[in-house]
Amino acid sequence: MSIEIAVRTNSMAYAEDFRRINEDWISANFWLEESDIQVLSNPQKYILDKGGNVFIALLNDKPVGTCALQVHDALTCELAKMAVDNHAQGSGIGFLLGTTLIDKARERGFSRIILEGNTKMKASILLYRKLGFTEVPFSKIEHTVASHKRCNIVMELKLSPLPQPEYYI
C-alpha cells in the first residue's frame, strides 16, 4: 500500500477529486451549505488564489483524501475541507494529511491553525486532539469567512516557529 500526499499551491490538478471526496463526506453526515458549494466548485479561486494550499492523499495513485490550508491573516490559517473516502478510513490517511498541513503551516510561519468541527464526528475530534488541537470558545475565533451552521466546536493548534539557525561571525 503506497500513500503519498500531493500538495497543491498553484493549480488544482485534482479539483474534481477534491470536490467529490468532500461532497460525499459532507452529504453522508450533514448537508452542503452555500459556502461549501462555492469553495468546492472553485478551490482555485477560494483557496489557492488567496494564498492557501490543497492537500490530496493518494492511495496507490488514486485520490482518497483531502484537506486545505486556508489563510485568514499573516498569523492564522485554517484546516478546512478534511475528508477521506469511506473505503480508506482507518488507514492513517487523515493523520498524514493533518501532519502534512501542520508542517506546511509551520514552514510558512503561521503561529496558529484553527478548525471548525462537529462533536457528532467523534473520530474526527479524536484525530484533531491527536494532532494537538484543543477546543476554544467560538468567541476567541475571529471569522473572516462565514462559519458553517453544522459546526458546534472550534479548535486551535498553536505553533512554535521553526528554530532559526544561529550564525557566528
- pLDDT at site 150: 82
Residue-wise pLDDT tens digits, 127-164: 999 999 999 987 666 654 446 678 889 999 999 865 55
| Cell digits of residue 35 | 459556502
Task: Classify residue 58 by burial, with Cβ atoms within 10 Å: 0-12, 13-18, 19+.
Answer: middle
C-alpha–C-alpha distance, residues 117 and 102, integer Å? 17
pTM of the model: 0.88
Say how many C-beta atoms besides its own lie within 10 A of residue 51's C-beta: 12
Q: Which residues contact 165 (CB under 8 A, 6 or more apart)?
A: none
| Cell digits of residue 18 | 477534491
